[in-house]
Amino acid sequence: MVMDRARDLFRRAIAHSPASPCYTLDIAAATTREIAAAAGCPATPGGLTAVGPEALVRAGDAVVEAYRRDPASGSRHYDPSLYAPVLDGDTLPVDPPTGMAQGLSREVDLLVCHTTEEYWLLDAVGSSTKVTSEEQLTLFAQDFGLPDGLIDGYRAHAPEAPVLDIYLAVFSDLLFCEYGNRLAEHHARAGGRTYLSRFDRRRTDPGGSVRAWHCADVPFAFGNHLDSDLAFLIGGLPTPADHDLSARMVRAWADFARTGDPGWPAVDHPDAPLMTWTSADCDSPGEPAGTRALWAKAAFPLLRP
């Protein structure tokens, strides 16, 4: 939406859980060198293509594991994702929050949807570092430059929660929820028509519980929640209430694609209601998350490894 080369290619966009990292050319080049070294090849286009995709995947996994084992490795110790959009000044000339604030995307209607417990999925599949002590939580806050008082604010909202849940809640908002909210607000302030929603469907049964975690909203929005391959993501076979939820989301997404109006009020101020999707009989606009105020002093610079 903020790319010059994409101008006039589309007039509406739906962003599911947009993630906050963007990397500079220097970071991208350093990552390339790390992967090439692990693959035993030169960090050049020819060197990388010569070893084949399987070898590059294995090399990337080795680099990820090295970060995971090193608590002093900064942000990649927690979420060792090696790849992100690169601000090269050409294909991507500016990071999305800045570009949207400048009005570069105002001609495109935008619908943003995030889940309420994004990062719990990464924890469940074992791709995230376990932060279970106060010392680890303090280091995490320092590594990401979080504002003073933010962690304490989350504790106040969930005083009985273990350290791991506080960490996952903060990381969910840092990477996805608050970032998506900021994109929506920047776009709206610059004159773009904007709609914001969150997915809060959970499921608890004798087999366990499934949270409203990353990607759980996608099958419901596309109507393929019956796919057996998605059982882990949504917690087993869908219930009648799940079918109703999917029908409502599919209808809203289709209405937005067709008319630009998904059926709830557009974002027009920071505390504007946002649609909350649940498996209840109906959905309605709700208030922003109570933790949003804790991010007031937090900017979203590039997340650096």
214: left (phi over 0), alpha (psi -120 to 50) or beta: beta
Average pLDDT over the chain reads 91
Looking at residue 162, its pLDDT comes to 97
Nearest to 199 by CA among 184, 183, 215, 217: 217
pLDDT at 303 over 60: no
Looking at residue 206, its pLDDT comes to 66
Rounded to an integer, what distance in angstroms lies between the CA atom of residue 296 and that of residue 60?
A: 35
Which domains occur in the chain, in start order? 4-20+95-295 (3.40.50.1820), 23-83 (no CATH)
Helix 134-143, helix 150-157: angle, nearest 10? 130
Q: What residues pair up with 13 in beta bridges, in sequence order? A: 110
- Residue at 38: amino acid letter: A
pLDDT at 302 over 80: no
Tokens 């924890």, residue? 123
233: left (phi over 0), alpha (psi -120 to 50) or beta: alpha
Q: Which residues contact 198 (CB under 8 A, 6 or more apart)?
A: 113, 114, 115, 116, 177, 274, 275, 276, 277, 286, 289
% of the chain exceeding 90 in pLDDT: 79
Rounded to an integer, what distance in angstroms lies between the CA atom of residue 266 and that of residue 109?
A: 10
Tokens 């106060």, residue? 134
Rounded to an integer, what distance in angstroms lies between the CA atom of residue 215 and that of residue 276?
A: 15
Rounded to an integer, what distance in angstroms lies between the CA atom of residue 142 and that of residue 145?
A: 5
Q: Which residues contact 135 (CB under 8 A, 6 or more apart)?
A: none
- At 285, the pLDDT band (50, 70, 90 cuts) reads low
pLDDT at 150 over 70: yes
The average pLDDT across 97-120 equals 96
Q: Which residues contact 199 (CB under 8 A, 6 or more apart)?
A: 113, 114, 115, 116, 212, 216, 217, 220, 277
Q: What is the DSSP letter of 116?
A: T
- Residue at 66: amino acid letter: A
Looking at residue 13, its pLDDT comes to 98
The average pLDDT across 128-138 equals 95
Q: How many CB atoms lie within 10 A of CB 251?
A: 13
The average pLDDT across 225-250 equals 94
The average pLDDT across 122-130 equals 92
Rounded to an integer, what distance in angstroms lies between the CA atom of residue 209 and that of residue 228?
A: 17
Give SS3 for 8.
coil
Q: How many CB atoms lie within 10 A of CB 274?
A: 22
% of the chain exceeding 70 in pLDDT: 94
